[in-house]
Structure 1
Amino acid sequence: MRISGAVGRRAWPKGETMKTFSVLSATLGVLLVSLGDRYPETTRADPPASVIEQGAASSNDVIQQYCVRCHNDSALRGNMTLEQFDLATAEDNPELTEKMISKVPSRYDAPTGC
């Protein structure tokens, strides 16, 4: 009994496999690019201004409570004062803000008990 089928024969003629792969890849690429226009990029909603102001106010309270003890106009520890610092306008003094950010995660300047 003989089983018929493609045993020993190629499913595609020689050289056609690569051409077929290239055509399918190009078609898939065009399809993906065209679908990208249908689904626009979503944007993240910014929090309301009141939430930002509340966050800045509570952070300013922490700065006044813990940081101004040493970083004030008279002590000037680290050659900086934070008495007039306001987190809502931190971008106005980027050097000072960056100094604070770099020290806080390491708890380098944190007083004991914090």
Structure 2
Amino acid sequence: MTYVIALPCVDVMDKACVDECPIDCIYEGDRMLYIQPDECIDCGACEPACPVDAIFFEDDLPAEFTGYTAVNAEFFTSIGSLGGAPRKAGPAAADHPLVAALPPQLDNGAFA
């Protein structure tokens, strides 16, 4: 099991969760943050740090966000596991196709 970042993160990317993660398993895409499931140690430090409640334990994902387990995992198909080094790697110049296809999210959390 792992933690998962879901839809509320899109176009917000507050990054407070990145600061709380003790192993640096949260990586930055263009529009969303992603948790590397092979690196996550399930400590839960990231979840309360998220100001938009976008982080969930995999078993606790609301039904409307269940696809984000695959979104997080598939994001790393092309970049692999960097061994807890997102701060060194910097942001990826892409997002998962599902996230990239979303319309821009407005300040109120609605999509344009």
Q: Which bin holds the TM-score, normalised by the shorter protein?
A: under 0.3
Q: Structure 1 length normalisation: TM-score?
A: 0.24
For the pair shown, the structure with the greater C-alpha radius of gyration is 1
Quick check: which one's strand share is greater? 2
Quick check: which one's helix share is greater? 1
Relative contact order higher in (CA < 8 Å, ≥ 6 apart): 2
